[in-house]
Amino acid sequence: MLRIVSANLNGIRSADKKGFFDWLAGIDADFVCVQELKAQAGDLSERMRNPDGLAGYFHYAEKKGYSGVGLYTRHQPDAVVEGLGVDWIDAEGRFLQLDFGKLSVVSLYLPSGSSSDERQQVKFDFLDVFMPHLEKLRAEGRDIVICGDWNIAHNEIDLKNWKGNLKNSGFLPEERAWMTDLLGRVGWRDVWRNLYPEAPGYTWWSNRGQAYAKDVGWRIDYQIVTPSLMELAESASVYKDEKFSDHAPLIVDYRRSL
């Protein structure tokens, strides 16, 4: 059994103070993909780098206090791929891939476009660059899981107030069409939606109003996998008993060993 966790921490130091690493010590995960570190290498404590038997790998953003992804593992990787090889993307610390035999695990933080039209254009540019990379990965014939904050709610079931968000970043027609293309023509699989067609599975809630208390959420954190790995996905859950950030961890168990 492989247990894989994806969690946007909205600041690794903040999440640590809220008990994230205490929780991690008790869930027996093989891989933990984290996003939005908002930290540089020198900001991380030893526990943040290597928590409880897990070795950490990181792709930091050049800008301090911004973005960044990490991946914790119990297993020694054969290869580490930091970034997509595109300077303007890699400067923001958004992609980290670890290879283990025929298995690849990716921690991804796709840009948000909600802050400005300029950032929305950056997001569209990222999607344009990323799709050919996803096509290439899909063609490799490996077992691949891409965990992370994709910042796109794919369908109406994936956010509570979909009617009010039709013109907002994260639920724009172009973004949703991109995701449809990924899961259709390119042939990737969305683990949660394949396992639970009728369950919303929200993973993010706005800090405004009573969004969390009223469960007015969005499902924007995914484990996107190759079909070979989808067949081995046994169960998935969103952990909400404690609150480490504005996102909740997504946990998936796979019937696979390394």
User: What is the gyration radius of the CA atoms in the chain, in angstroms?
Assistant: 17
**75 counts as catalytic:** no
Is 151 annotated as a binding-site member? yes
What is the pLDDT at residue 208? Answer: 87
Return the closest-CA partner of residue 114 out of 64, 60, 68, 167. 167
What is the pLDDT at residue 134? Answer: 98
What is the pLDDT at residue 224? Answer: 98
Average pLDDT over residues 53-62: 97
Average pLDDT over residues 138-163: 97
pLDDT tens digits, one per residue of 202-258: 999 999 889 999 999 999 999 999 999 999 999 999 999 999 999 999 999 999 988
Which residue in 59, 222, 247, 254 is the catalytic one? 247
DSSP β-bridge partners for residue 204: 218, 247
192 — pLDDT class (breaks 50, 70, 90)? very high
Average pLDDT over residues 67-95: 98
What is the pLDDT at residue 87? Answer: 97
Which residue in 16, 143, 149, 190 is the catalytic one? 149
What is the sign, positive or negative, of the torsion defined by CA atoms of 195, 199, 200, 202?
negative
What is the pLDDT at residue 209? Answer: 85
Residues 174 and 178: their CA atoms lie apart, in Å, by 6
Residues 22 and 51: their CA atoms lie apart, in Å, by 9
Is 149 annotated as a binding-site member? yes
**109 counts as catalytic:** yes
What is the pLDDT at residue 126? Answer: 98
Instruction: For domain 1-252, give the CATH number.
Output: 3.60.10.10
Residues 219 and 226: their CA atoms lie apart, in Å, by 20
Q: Where are the domains of the chain?
A: 1-252
50 — pLDDT class (breaks 50, 70, 90)? very high
Is 246 annotated as a binding-site member? yes
Angle at 31 between CA 226 and CA 90, to 5 degrees: 75
Give the mean pLDDT of the chain. Answer: 97
Residues 63 and 79: their CA atoms lie apart, in Å, by 26
Is 143 annotated as a binding-site member? no
Is 247 annotated as a binding-site member? yes
Average pLDDT over residues 62-85: 97
**154 counts as catalytic:** no
Which residue in 72, 109, 202, 222 is the catalytic one? 109
**pTM of the model as a whole:** 0.97
